[in-house]
């Protein structure tokens, strides 16, 4: 038998016989290491800990205390959940796919008759615990595709058959544990006994392969951890996230709603929500003007020929709406860049004019599938804080850094941390290799010069250029995609944008597409969850509410209310004949920052008694002093 040379991460060499497994090598180092090993990486490739080694190479053991191990454990627990479902419901349910995802895993099931409900979760979890306790070996098996198709067809697993056929490979790998067998590349844990800490979380619908023309599947979301403490922390975070759900708080705070009569994914802004939106939009205009942007407004529809010229028709039309006027086709805009280029082209430009920064709070419409709509976070009609910077190639670095500074300032004002990601050329794209290389290098250089850490996201750029994506981190450490900076050499070429250089010749400018908060709708959804609906004073749609104790103070309460409103305070008045405690609790539920109580003493002294929404109180003060207090608190962001 051949002797193999296996190099470990510390540089040491193990001489073993061909067919030795990583688990056996771990045992030679220590039993504790072997027990902790979940899988291995051999010459950079993930393999099972029980996989026989047939050649010399570099071996790294993956132990339970690593993120890589947790992903494998979650993927293995997805198989355990599918095994439990099959043992409980048999041929009534077909299995499809079950990957690990961020914070957990899911498995999609198909059934004509069985409708999963949350009440099924304890039953499935109990069966999973029983199977884990049995500590069944998890065995990998290579099989020809033809034999695997025959196997799954005989089991009535039509979706597995379709998956194998779509792979178009001569052989596939299967994993068996007990009587359960699944199609999978692996790797997996060696025994089910390693899967001890898990929890089923929620249900959702999902189209097979994401195609709404295919069957609707039932998706069970779940999670798994290495210990109960980590699971408890995660479940507490999920519970907090449920409390902060912007859809729930949006109803409770009377900010917005959706109506089937209006259409799915179209937001109806109520007065308080519209006020919140107006505050943010006014903030946006002020911040952009301060940084040298010019306000522009483009039409909602543009001729179809323009969308063909830009490439959107070929690369984005499935997400667009179209209409016809006087036998002329039009596309309802999903983006604002075309109108901005037409404004630029409206007269000759000199190199001395550049950069030009056009800003528009542009409302756009995109054809999102009904299955992905999600409150304010995914809608069909939304407004972007969209801007296009048209500049010379030598100005790209400074302009990108300027946008990054803008993002940093805004993130700080709203209390967000963030991470950055550089996305490169996708498979379907337009433009020359040289333009893409120059654009990508420009963004990469700006990121590196800034000292801001970033990750590389290969192949996820826009179809016309690479991009920097900014992901905000909220109070629960969740990431939200908001700001983006895209470097585009291609559309200026297609639309023949030019400027006259210092040499008197025409040159081609570069266009930076960028948003700072992105969709106003999405950003408000994120803000609601970040602040749990308790907005800072400057953002609160209602900053204060005047509450009288009895009808005796109604006239003075009205006078104080009028004085506050005339001073620019966003204030409400509650003169209802209710107990003060009831009115205070309602105001707290509405998360109004200040409750201004007026009793006989306040009426006599011509004062108000401010009370915070957290229950703390201030000494009585004049209305004008309270106005000064609010103005001082809200000046911080300006």
Contact status, residue 312 vs residue 335, Cβ threshold 8 Å? yes
Catalytic residue chosen out of the listed positions 388, 530, 570, 591: 388
Do strands 544-548 and 594-598 pair parallel, antiparallel, or not at all (unpaired)? parallel
Give the SS3 label for residue 131: helix
Query: Which residue bears the tokens 């039509």?
Result: 158
Catalytic residue chosen out of the listed positions 357, 467, 583, 611: 467
Task: Judge whether 613 counts as a catalytic residue.
Answer: no
Query: Which residue bears the tokens 């199609």?
Result: 183
DSSP 151-183: HHHHTT-HHHHHHHHHHT-SEEEEEEETTEEEE
Task: Judge whether 340 counts as a catalytic residue.
Answer: no
| Structural domains of the chain sorted by starting position, each given as residue range(s) with its CATH number in brackets | 3-63 (3.10.20.30), 68-244 (3.30.980.10), 270-300+333-531 (3.30.930.10), 544-637 (3.40.50.800)
Catalytic residue chosen out of the listed positions 218, 384, 395, 486: 384
Catalytic residue chosen out of the listed positions 182, 385, 386, 488: 386
DSSP 120-133: GHHHHHHHHHHHHH
Contact status, residue 34 vs residue 26, Cβ threshold 8 Å? yes
Task: Judge whether 513 counts as a catalytic residue.
Answer: yes
pLDDT at 631: 92
Whole-number Å distance between alpha carbons of 200 and 532: 25
Task: Judge whether 386 counts as a catalytic residue.
Answer: yes
> CA distances (Å), 460 to each of 94, 198, 423, 457, 619, in order?
33, 33, 5, 6, 56
pLDDT at 457: 86
pLDDT at 451: 81
**First vs last Cα of the chain: how many Å apart?**
76
Whole-number Å distance between alpha carbons of 84 and 124: 6
Task: Judge whether 328 counts as a catalytic residue.
Answer: no
Catalytic residue chosen out of the listed positions 188, 288, 333, 513: 513
Catalytic residue chosen out of the listed positions 140, 312, 366, 530: 366
Element (H, E) at 388: strand 381-391
Do strands 417-423 and 454-457 pair parallel, antiparallel, or not at all (unpaired)? parallel
Task: Judge whether 176 counts as a catalytic residue.
Answer: no
Catalytic residue chosen out of the listed positions 184, 337, 482, 487: 337
pLDDT at 75: 96
pLDDT at 1: 60
Contact status, residue 512 vs residue 384, Cβ threshold 8 Å? no
Query: Which residue bears the tokens 């498979």?
Result: 427
Task: Judge whether 384 counts as a catalytic residue.
Answer: yes
CA 204 to chain centre: 17
Q: Which residues contact 48 (CB under 8 A, 6 or more apart)?
A: 39, 40, 140, 186, 187, 188, 190
pLDDT at 126: 97
Query: Which residue bears the tokens 């803008």?
Result: 406
Q: Pick out the chain residues at pLDDT < 70.
A: 1, 636-638
pLDDT at 479: 87
pLDDT at 445: 86
pLDDT at 489: 87
pTM strictly above 0.85 = no
């Amino acid at each position: 038998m051949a002797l193999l040379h296996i190099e470990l991460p510390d540089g040491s060499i193990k001489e073993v016989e061909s067919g030795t497994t990583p688990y056996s090598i771990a045992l030679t180092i220590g039993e504790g290491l072997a027990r902790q090993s979940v899988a291995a990486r051999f010459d950079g490739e993930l393999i099972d800990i029980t996989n026989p080694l047939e050649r010399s190479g570099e071996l790294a053991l993956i132990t339970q205390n690593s993120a890589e191990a947790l992903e494998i454990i979650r993927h293995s627990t997805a198989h355990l959940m599918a095994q439990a479902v099959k043992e409980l419901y048999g041929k009534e349910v077909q299995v499809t796919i079950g990957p690990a995802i961020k914070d957990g895993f899911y498995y999609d099931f198909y059934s004509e008759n069985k409708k999963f409900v949350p009440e099924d979760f304890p039953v499935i979890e109990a069966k999973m615990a029983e199977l884990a306790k049995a500590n069944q070996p998890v065995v990998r098996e290579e099989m020809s595709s033809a034999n695997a198709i025959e196997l799954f067809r005989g089991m009535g697993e039509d979706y597995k058959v379709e998956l194998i056929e779509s792979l178009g490979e001569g052989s596939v790998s299967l994993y068996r544990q007990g009587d359960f067998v699944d199609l999978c590349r692996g790797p997996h844990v060696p025994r089910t006994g390693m899967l001890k800490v898990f929890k089923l979380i929620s249900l959702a619908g999902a189209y097979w392969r994401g195609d709404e023309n295919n069957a609707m599947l039932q998706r069970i979301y779940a999670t798994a951890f290495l210990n109960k403490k980590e699971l408890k922390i995660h479940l507490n975070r999920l519970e907090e996230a449920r409390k902060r759900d912007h859809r729930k708080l949006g109803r409770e705070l009377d900010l917005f709603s959706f109506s089937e009569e209006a259409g799915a994914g179209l937001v109806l802004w109520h007065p308080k929500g519209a006020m919140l939106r107006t505050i943010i939009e006014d903030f946006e205009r002020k911040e952009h003007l301060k940084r040298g942007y010019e306000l522009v407004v483009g039409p909602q529809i543009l001729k179809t020929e323009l969308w063909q010229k830009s490439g959107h028709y070929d690369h984005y039309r499935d997400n667009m709406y179209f209409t016809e006027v006087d036998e002329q086709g039009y596309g309802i805009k999903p983006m604002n860049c075309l109108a901005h280029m037409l404004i630029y082209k409206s007269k000759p430009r000199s190199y001395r004019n550049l950069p030009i920064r056009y800003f528009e709070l542009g409302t756009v419409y995109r054809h999102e599938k009904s299955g992905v709509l999600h409150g304010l976070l995914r809608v069909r009609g939304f407004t972007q804080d969209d801007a296009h910077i048209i500049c010379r190639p030598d100005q790209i670095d400074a302009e990108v850094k300027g946008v990054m500074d803008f993002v940093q300032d805004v993130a700080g004002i709203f209390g967000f941390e963030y991470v950055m990601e550089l996305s490169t050329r996708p498979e379907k794209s337009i433009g020359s290799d040289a333009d893409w290389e120059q654009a990508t290098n420009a963004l990469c250089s700006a990121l590196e010069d800034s000292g801001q850490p970033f990750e590389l996201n290969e192949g996820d750029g826009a179809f016309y250029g690479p991009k920097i994506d900014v992901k905000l981190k909220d109070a629960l450490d969740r990431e939200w995609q908001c700001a983006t900076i895209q470097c585009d050499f291609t559309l200026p070429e297609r639309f023949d944008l030019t400027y006259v250089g210092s040499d008197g010749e025409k040159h081609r400018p570069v266009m930076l597409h960028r948003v700072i908060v992105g969709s106003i709708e999405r950003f408000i959804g994120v803000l609601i969850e970040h602040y749990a609906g308790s907005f800072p004073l400057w953002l609160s749609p209602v900053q204060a509410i005047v509450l009288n104790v009895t009808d005796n103070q109604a006239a003075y309460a009205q006078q104080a209310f009028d004085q506050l409103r005339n001073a620019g305070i966003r204030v409400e008045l509650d003169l209802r004949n209710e107990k003060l405690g009831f009115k205070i609790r309602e105001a707290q539920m509405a998360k109004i920052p200040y409750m201004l109580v007026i009793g006989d003493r306040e009426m006599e002294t011509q004062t108000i008694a401010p009370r915070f929404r957290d229950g703390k109180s201030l000494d009585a003060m004049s209305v004008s002093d309270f106005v000064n207090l609010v103005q001082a608190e809200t000046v911080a962001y300006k």
